Amino acid sequence: MKHHQGRLEVITGPMFCGKTDELLRRLRRAIIAKQKIQVFKPGFDIRYSNEKVTSHAGNEYDATPIESTTEIPALLINDVTLVAIDEAQFFDEEIIPVVQDLVKKGIRVIVGGLDMDFRGEPFGQMPMLLAQAEIVDKLHAICMVCGEEATRTQRLVDGNPAHYDDPIIIVGASEMYEARCRIHHQVPSGKKE
C-alpha cells in the first residue's frame, strides 16, 4: 500500500528514553498495514548487532548498515513505502537532501536519534531534521539521580561526568551513559587535569 504523500517523522530524546522501541513499534504497525519497509543504521554502531536495529530493551529489526546516507537511494527496494534511519545524529549533512528526496517521492521516513550530545548541545543534523519534520516526538527518560523526567544524556568516565572537551562521539550504552534531568546533568568545562 502506497502513501499519497511522503512525510518525515522524527523520534528524539536522550539515551534510554525508548526512541528505538518507538521506531520498532511503528515498523510493526507498518508491517500489519503491508508496507514495504527498509531500515538503515550507521555501520560503526555494532553495540548489539551489525545488521539489526536493537533497542536497549532487546527488541530488534533487520537493518542495512551504511557509512553515509548517500548510499540509501541505490539500496532502495522497488515500491518501498517506509524508510527508517536509526541513530541519525551520527550521519553528516547529506542526510538532509536524501531524506527530503525520499519524502518528495512519497515515502514515509522515520528518523530516530539523539537531539543533544553529552554536552547538552544540538547533535549533528538532528536540529534540521526536527525543523523539517511533519511529526516530532520528543521522548523523556528517567533521571538516574533523582527519578524525575530526564531530557539529557550524561556521559561518564570512570564514574565521573565527562569534560566538555572530551570527544563528542563514543558509542556505548549503560556502562558509559546515564539519563539525567537538567538539574543533575553535569559537564565540567576544560580539560581533565
> Which residue numbers are catalytic?
87
| The three grid cell numbers given for residue 139, joined into one nine-digit string | 521522548
Report the alpha-carbon angle 55-21-183, nearest 5: 85
8/27 Cα distance (integer angstroms): 14
- Residue showing cell 539489526: 52
140/122 Cα distance (integer angstroms): 16
Whether 45 contacts 145, CB under 8 Å: no
158/178 Cα distance (integer angstroms): 13
78/107 Cα distance (integer angstroms): 12
| The three grid cell numbers given for residue 23, joined into one nine-digit string | 521506531
